[in-house]
Each structure stands twice: as C-alpha cells, then as structure tokens.
Amino acid sequence: MPARTITAEAAGTWKLGDLTVNRIGLGAMRLTGSAAFDLGTPSDRDRSITVLRRAIELGVNHIDTAAFYFSSLRSANELINRALAPYADDLVIVTKVGPSRGAAGTWLPWPTPEQLRGQVEENLRQLGRDHLDVVNLRINAPGPIAEHFGALAELRDAGLIRHLGLSNVRAEHLAEAQAIAPVVCVQNRYGIDARRPGADDFLNLCGEQGIAFVPFFAIAGEGRESGATGAENAQVRAIADAHGVSSAQVRLAWTLHQGPHVLAIPGTGNPDHLTANVAAGALRLTEQEMALLDAPDAPEATDVEA
C-alpha cells in the first residue's frame, strides 16, 4: 500500500483577519534562484512553477512573497501569477513593502510613506490582482513607523489592501501600528537558535492578542537568505534520527509547537523539499523533546535584521 500523502491540513488552521489559512505555508523567496537576491543564478522556471502548483495540491493556501524577491530572469510574484492564476478563492497571498531593489538588484533608499503606494501597485501588477490579501510593512529603518503604516492603512481603506501586518519589528512597533489600524500578523526572525532577547515574550503577546506570529529563517537559521548551512546542533540531529525525519522537519515542527497562532512559511524551490516541509505539520514532538530543543547549542541572535 502506498504511503499516505500528508497535506497542509495536518498542521491545523489560523485566521489572518477573516482569512483562514493552514498553519504551514510556502515562502516564495527561493523560487527565484539558489541564493536569494543573487541576479546571476536564475531558477529553473518550470521547476518553480511545479513547486507552486504542487503546493496547492498539498493544501497550502498561504504564500508569502514580495516584489523584491527576484533574480536574473525570475520574479517570485510573476511566477506565482503564471502558476496559479486564476487564483483559488481560499488562497491567501501575503506580500511585504518597505524595502525595494532597482533593476540591477541594488537596494534602494528607504521609501517615503507616499512611495509605498507605488510598491503596493507593483505587487498588484505582478500578481495580476485588484487587491492584496495581506501587506506587511517590513521595517528596515529606525524610528517611528506611524507615517508609513498610516499610508498603508489609507490604501486599505481605499480597497487596495484587505489586511495589514508587520515584519522585523519589536513590541513597541506593534503598539504604534495598532493605534492606527488592526494588525493581523507579525513576521520576525525566529527559530530554535535564532531568537532575539525577549522574542518568546513577543511571540506570546501576539498570541494573547489573536495576531499570527510568522517566523522567517526557521530552517535556515544563521544561513539566512543563503539557506541552511548544513551545520546542525546535536539535539536537533538526535530528535530527527529518533523520528526518522530530517532536521528541517524537526525545526518546522518545533516552530508550529510554539502556539496555535504560529505559522510556518518555509521557502523552497525543490518539489521534494516542499513535500517534506508540508509533512512536518504532522510531526508531534514530546514535552521532553521540546525541552531539549529549547536548550540549543547556538547563541541567540541579538540584532534587528536589515
């Protein structure tokens, strides 16, 4: 008898505002090439489209993307459009604005609040949509965010955006944004060995307020945009061996065990890795295993991501 295919439903669901998503989704950054933001190594177009369509077959209905996810010849948004349009009614596409890159791949200056409308419209154009389900303001600059978040709130009121979120933020940013408009999700770097001081408290605060907490680099860890380094701490390896799964699957399972409001958006351009990532939603870790994983070998991260 063939093995049962595990789908994204195994991880359970959460709501981004009024939009229900399965808790394990797909990050689109790695669809464009082997290393993020590398213009010299475009991905195989057909393979990336296969990954996107296979994700939908596996029940993934939450895709995280951005207009600045592109490499030579490849754009994550346009791959999504090509592979999945016309979009299923239950598919939630989350994008982010704030950072932007020129055609040569270089990062542009932090935008003014007025320039955010152009970024939103570019996402709309690339995705072929008349509105965006969720837009996260990703913070790359110090200081207050009220003017930038307020500009997005105006676009929400105009019908271009359905819900708003934040990325790469601290609790004070969340409070500042909530004084302007509801926040449905927070995306921060968070993983077994990638937690800022106070990150656990912030994760719990989001849960208390019904806000989804969406870690990035949950698998990659210190590899960040370039992907996992291949190094792994002993606890993760031992638990992976005990369950007969990969270290990446243990990391994803640990992520989902942090609370019912925690979502996972592992990125991949590999169909086999996609299947394994989705299957991690069915992996259940014991209290003893979680305790071991909460005492990692690696030091905590202390910086706000650029």
Active site residues: 69
Angstrom distance (rounded) from CA 139 to CA 142: 8
222 and 193 Cβ atoms separated by less than 8 Å: yes
Residue keyed to tokens 């009614």: 89
Using alpha carbons, list the distances in angstroms from residue 16 to 162, 164, 201, 208, 219. Answer: 10, 9, 21, 15, 23
The one-letter amino acid code at 241 reads D
Angle at 136 between CA 133 and CA 140, to 5 degrees: 160
Angstrom distance (rounded) from CA 252 to CA 192: 9
286 and 239 Cβ atoms separated by less than 8 Å: no
32 and 69 Cβ atoms separated by less than 8 Å: yes
Which residues, 6+ apart, have CB-to-CB distance to 146 below 8 Å?
Answer: 176, 177, 179, 180
Phi and psi at 78, nearest 5°, equal -75, -30
27 and 227 Cβ atoms separated by less than 8 Å: no
